[in-house]
Amino acid sequence: MKKRILIIGGGFGGITTMHALKKHVGHDAEVVLIDYRANTLNKPRLPDVALKGESVEHARFLMKNAVKHDGYLLIQETVQRIDPVMKKVYLKEGGIEPYDYLVLAPGVKKYYSGIEGFREYGYSVCDDVQAPRLWRNLQTFKGGPVFIGSMPYRSGTRVNAPKLLAPCEGPVGEVMFMLKEFLAKKGIGEISPVTAFSPAKIFFEDVGEKVRNSVGEIMKQEGIGLITEKIVKKIDAEKIYFKDGTSEACALAIILPEYKPYDFVVDSGLGDEAGFIPTDEQMRHLDYPEIFAVGDATSLSVPKLGHIAVLQGDIAAKAIALDLGKKIEIPEFEPAVLCIMERANLQATMIYSNVLYKGKLDETLNGPMAFMMKWSFDFYYNFTRGHMPPDFAEKLLVNYLNKRK
Ligand SMILES: Cc1cc2nc3c(=O)[nH]c(=O)nc-3n(C[C@H](O)[C@H](O)[C@H](O)COP(=O)(O)OP(=O)(O)OC[C@H]3O[C@@H](n4cnc5c(N)ncnc54)[C@H](O)[C@@H]3O)c2cc1C
């Protein structure tokens, strides 16, 4: 009988796993994707929604089309609990789905309510509700001090992943650069100083000094301030308050909230002490060999990046294919921080850095070429319903960056 593979979550990690299973396992297994959303959300596109007023439709594609194209099945439902011993997934509306293999790719819960006053005075870019909400607010923004930063990340200890205090500061960088352009165009740039804040001692602690200096240089040119070791406690109509007792006058606070594991992961006993899913480097759960996990929900994904979710999805699918008797080589897990931050006038800054994982590459690419890369990626990803550009594209980029060093 065919083995049954369930994938929970159709974001970067889950969709990549599904496409890779299609390639390496095909229809020798029954593959089912479960997600409560109708659309896959390309979150790196959300700053365009929040700061340029782009339609949120440009940041997503219909999940059912991606699944149908692979010839698999989509269940549009919310997972409520998993029984890892009986190998069953319990759905909110009452269904129970058995599995031989399970791939967990639900991402993380954005804990906005952990910030006092966020509902009334806080803004964000992390999802398709918050990004258009920020755009709406900006239409009537009259100017004043702006603060942008993230809440801290709490990781567990079962997996040997880098320890970072910020879950991912790329979106903070992109928003501060794009906001500068927006404020200048609106004619309120002068009265609206922009300050980035970080919970860590170092802003962009996930990259090396070369990239950090390069980002710091652009921040200086753009007149963006920086404060570090700041954790937001509260926001009100006039101020932003930090846990160290300090506060600043603030007219607009844009915050990446704490990234928390979903309750169903924790309640099913599948998380580490912080609730993230512990796996080995083939993405196999440390306690349940038929469960795999990829993406932001895993302990191994640090920082929380789509690029890492994609690497994990490919490895997990290949490890399952090997289990199913396919002759296949499983690649090493070699993560890198890859992020493209859009700036004014069709410029962007691309970061490619793997020094956090003992690699040697720590490069930025500035200018219209980086902007084109972002645009091409978004177009390719949406148009192909969640496929990544061919491997050689990244290899070419890495070769180029290595030569330029
Ligand atoms: C503004 C912004 C910019 C970014 N820019 C970059 C960048 O330049 N480069 C980069 O590499 N990364 C970037 N990222 C990070 C990247 O978007 C995430 O790391 C990535 O989306 C994680 O993928 P995932 O598959 O783990 O989770 P997600 O993409 O969050 O997908 C999870 C899916 O699981 C589903 N789900 C959750 N719970 C359940 C449940 N109980 N039942 C059923 N389905 C469920 C959700 O509906 C969702 O579709 C950015 C993030 C943001 C917010």
b/e sequence 47-85, b meaning 16+ C-beta within 10 Å:
bbbbbeebebeebbbebbebbeebebebbebebeebebe
Burial status of residue 221 (CB atoms within 10 A of its CB: 0-12, 13-18, 19 or more): exposed
**Ligand 1 within 6 A of 339 CB?**
yes
**Ligand 1 within 6 A of 338 CB?**
yes
181: left (phi over 0), alpha (psi -120 to 50) or beta: alpha
Residue 291 has a CB neighbour count (10 Å cut-off) of 23
Distances (CA, A) of 396 to 54, 84, 342, 346, 392: 31, 42, 21, 23, 6
CA separation for the pair 89, 17 (Å, rounded): 18
**Ligand 1 within 6 A of 219 CB?**
no
**Ligand 1 within 6 A of 125 CB?**
yes
Q: Are 106 and 297 in contact (CB under 8 A)?
A: yes
Residue nearest to atom 23 of ligand 1 (CA): 12
Taking 70 as the pLDDT cut, the residues of the chain under it are none
**Ligand 1 within 6 A of 257 CB?**
no
Domains (range + CATH), the chain: 3-108+260-323 (3.50.50.60)
**Ligand 1 within 6 A of 128 CB?**
no
**Ligand 1 within 6 A of 126 CB?**
yes
Ligand 1 pocket test, candidate residues 108, 112, 168, most atoms within 8 A of CB:
168
Residue 218 has, within 13 A of its CA and on its CB side, a CA count of 24
C-alpha of residue 215 to centroid of ligand 1, in Å: 24
CA separation for the pair 272, 278 (Å, rounded): 6
- What is the pLDDT, as a whole number, of residue 351? 95
Q: Are 359 and 336 in contact (CB under 8 A)?
A: yes
**Ligand 1 within 6 A of 104 CB?**
no
- What is the pLDDT, as a whole number, of residue 403? 86
- Asked if the peptide bond before residue 335 counts as cis, ω within 30 degrees of 0, the response is no
Ligand 1 pocket test, candidate residues 296, 312, 365, 394, most atoms within 8 A of CB:
296
pTM score = 0.97
Measure the CA dihedral 14/303/162/395, to 10°. 70
Ligand 1 pocket test, candidate residues 32, 35, 308, most atoms within 8 A of CB:
35
- What is the pLDDT, as a whole number, of residue 53? 96
C-alpha of residue 105 to centroid of ligand 1, in Å: 9
Atom of ligand 1 nearest to the CA of 264: 41
- What is the pLDDT, as a whole number, of residue 152? 97
Helix axes 12-24 and 306-323, enclosed angle (nearest 10): 30
